[in-house]
Amino acid sequence: MRGITNVNFKNKRAIIRVDFNVPLDDSLKITDISRIKAALPTIDFVLEKGGAVILMSHLGRPSKRDAALSLAPVAKELSLLIKAPVQFFNDCVGLETLKKAKALQSGEIALLENLRFYQEEILGDTAFAQQLAELADIYINDAFGSSHRAHASTFTITRFFKNHYIFFLNTLHIF
């Protein structure tokens, strides 16, 4: 994987694997936003270069769909931080998600629902990774804390992109 400083994002959709596995209290309020803030440089960079951003992450360790582990609160928090709307997709794969992703315009941001609502994510399933890859033109891994896992969104997905990249969180925060 390479850095993204010389990538042409104009009118392209970048799918970015981020680490939004943030702590939530009993009322589903985020108690620490540092992981969300850590992804902002990469998100901002892609947007400034004329791209659209599709974010994907996991939250917790659900074995099935669980409203308490939805990424919807993260979409709201991210929207407040960047002072722009963040579309929340109620799923991370499927025809409806694909249609919404293809409709994204430059400068727009979307956050997919929790990847781990699907066991295929943890298993590194090829078909699942391919569905994620179909959402975008460019893949960026900015989830340093999850990069060591051979999951669909961190490893298998790279098979479906000619070039895949790492950036700000992975390249600037390694010490």
- Note the pLDDT tens digit of each residue in 70-113: 999 999 999 999 999 999 999 999 999 999 999 999 999 999 99
Q: Give pLDDT, residue 45.
A: 93
Considering the chain, what is the average pLDDT of its residues? 89
CATH number for the domain harbouring residue 124: 3.40.50.1260
DSSP notation for the chain? -B-STT---TT-EEEEE------B-TTS-BS--HHHHHHHHHHHHHHHTT-EEEEE---S--SS--GGG-SHHHHHHHHHHHTS--EEES-SSSHHHHHHHHH--TT-EEEEPPGGGSHHHHHT-HHHHHHHHTT-SEEEE--GGGTTS--TTTTGGGGG-SSEEE-HHHHHS--
**Domain presence at residue 4:** no
What is the count of structural domains for the chain? 1
Is 90 exceeded by the pLDDT of residue 6?
Answer: no
Q: Could you report the per-residue pLDDT of 133-157, keeping only the tens digit for each?
A: 999 999 999 886 565 566 899 989 9
Asked whether residue 112 is assigned to any structural domain, the reply reads yes
Any domain includes 101:
yes
Whole-number pLDDT of residue 173: 41
Q: What residues make up the domain containing 150?
A: 13-172
